[in-house]
Structure 1
């Protein structure tokens, strides 16, 4: 009995996550892989959902972390968890019909057009979601793997939702599995130093550069995670952007400062972005 009740996690605002029966889910198609697990589109209670399943025992830990983290959060810019299923083990989440920001930026064919206002709005929404995570009590929830593949779009691409919380704890496993995150990773994280929520601020600064330029960060260094980490460790950052308004450039470069203490808080990033978007 204790196992069942463990899955019923009391959420903020009194919304209860459900123990979902697998029979009640109509699985349709695989849509991709997360940092861990495979994600399928499905239908549950008449609505489109995403279900995330684990493929091996060693993913169970990341799965339980994601369940625990997502069940504590309730924010419009964070993917909503509807519930979980015991057998087979899976998470049932909100489905993002527009896919990831990464796909919109780099993979979609034909490439969708977007404006500077879209770029700023996505980054503001990301900052809002992360500022909320950092304000969690008793202690800040650090995402640790912010990058466009983990930012999902809904409502015709206008609303951004952060996903993939399986890494929000065990960093060692995560470093092993996540060679694909080097371009957005703060130096103190891969150096194995103590790190704080300021590592998310670093990642956010790289994402801002990426949506403004529509280029993959450090693409010219080539695919090797090690080469990117070495460059970032030595102080290499993406090139500055011609004609970028000075306040945006200042915000971006402060976010990717080598010294975490010199980076703004996510709350400050959010407020600055809000202010800059009113000024435009």
Structure 2
């Protein structure tokens, strides 16, 4: 395999660094590992990408052993995360684009969940792992090397906490429904152009604690009810209450008829900025405005953007733009969840001490929750083993009884046999005497 490395880092995945290169005359992404410790994740991604073939999943062209790397499809528009949260100038996109991205994500994940003989779970769906091509109109899912170890998530994977289903970090058994939870958070993010749980701050443990207690991103004012219902069902605490990704895909497909124009190319004024890896530190203040998601900026002439075509697009929903936040629909006894944890005062030692104590308490709580979940699973395993032992003991007892009965029968038959032999000898003796 002949490649010309351009020595340009374009991103990082669950493992390794991603470079842009030219292979057989076309741009490709080369994903390398940085140490032998990442070899397992490399093999996981290689095995999983080798199994899949879908227009909304990044293509694998090949792999190398020396150096160890994957050769994959290159996404010229970068990640969805960078498009949403990059520094100015932020590209404008419409409600149609937002809905289309989420539909395409659902299509790719539904394909994974339908794989036989066992569903393939991505486990780390988030905008950083969603790539854009075709001038921002086509979405590709990437990064299939995700580790399942909860400790890895809790200590080293802070960036994933905002999209992680509670059953995953709580240490409970989880299914493909964890991807559905992540998808619901992504839908909220593209509709608001805000980072989920950004107001909570602190470490990943703060987000995990809030999600565990029932906190979700605030609902969006005037969001059409079918979209809101789908979104809130996806991030339900109970996995069994969440829709399947197939249902999500079908629902989104039905909704897309109200959002024409998703194939309109985005105006990406600075292509290279979209390709930069990592998340932008700029604060995003974007929201829906006339069906266009922007940074609350006006047009070049200084006038606000017009609402032409807005009513026609959403007339069936009887909803009006712009969409703003409205208070989350929570019970009174969960208000404390939305208020916790508060950001500490950096100049106050007491405030910082209390905040750090809260963090330690959250860490300890999640550790205990994980241990409880582990012990519950272990209890179930032991109960299953005990039931198996009881069945084996019952079988053994039955066999012993049968063996005893056979011994008794054998003894009776032996005695009967001896009697018959004695009778036979007596008859033989009489016959000899007469003859």
TM-score w.r.t. length of structure 2: 0.57
**Cα deviation per residue 1:46-92 (whole Å; 9 max; x = unaligned)?**
11000000011111111100000000000000000000011010000
Deviation by residue 1:96-119 (Cα, 9 ceiling, x = unmatched): 000000000001431000111000
Q: Which has the higher helix share?
A: 2
Q: Is the 8 A contact 2:150 2:171 kept in 1?
A: no
Deviation of the 1:180 alpha carbon: 1.1
Q: Is the 8 A contact 2:180 2:244 kept in 1?
A: yes
Q: Does 1:233 align with 2:212?
A: yes
Equivalences for 1:1-280 in 2 at 5 Å? Answer: 24-167=3-146, 169=148, 172-274=151-253
Q: Is 24-33 or 217-226 further displaced after alignment?
A: 24-33
Shift of 1:176: 4.1
Kept after mapping to 2: 8 A contact 1:143/1:168: no
Cα pair 1:70 1:165 within 8 Å, conserved: yes
Count how many residue pairs are aligned between Structure 1 and Structure 2: 252
Does the 8 A contact of 1:28 with 1:43 survive in 2? no
Deviations 1:97-145 (A, max 9, x none): 0000000000143100011100000000000000000001110000000
SS at match of 2:51: coil
Cα pair 1:50 1:94 within 8 Å, conserved = yes
Deviation per residue, 1:232-271 (Å, 9 max, x gap): 0000000000000000000000000000000000000000
| Structure-1-length-normalised TM-score | 0.87
How far off its partner does 1:35 sit? 2.0
The offset of 1:31, in angstroms, is 1.1
Pair 27,174 (structure 1): closer, same or farther in 2 beyond 3 Å:
farther
The CA distance in 2 between the partners of 1:247 and 1:69, in whole Å, is 34
Contact 1:142–1:168, Cα closer than 8 Å, also in 2: no
CA 1:37–1:190: 2 relative to 1, 3 Å: same
Distance 2:134 2:87 in 1: 17
Report the aligned-residue RMSD: 7.4
Give runs of ≥4 in structure 1 deviating > 2 Å: 24-28, 168-177
Q: Contact 2:153–2:169 (CA<8 Å) still a contact in 1?
A: no
Unmatched 5+ residue regions in structure 1? 1-23, 275-279
Give the match's secondary structure for 1:71: helix
Kindly indicate whether the alpha-carbon contact (under 8 Å) linking 2:60 and 2:73 is maintained by their aligned counterparts in 1.
Answer: yes
For residues 16-68 of structure 1, give each alpha carbon's deviation from its aligned partner in whole angstroms, at most 9, with x where no partner exists: xxxxxxxx343441112112110000001111000000011111111100000
CA deviation after TM superposition for structure 1 residue 173, in Å: 3.9
Distance in 1 separating the partners of 2:87 and 2:14:
21
Q: How many angstroms does 1:220 deviate by?
A: 0.2
- SS for the counterpart of 1:29 is strand
Q: Which has the larger radius of gyration?
A: 2
Provide the rounded CA distance (Å) in 2 between the counterparts of 1:25 and 1:172. Answer: 38
Deviation (angstroms), 1:178: 1.4
Distance 1:240 1:184 in 2: 16
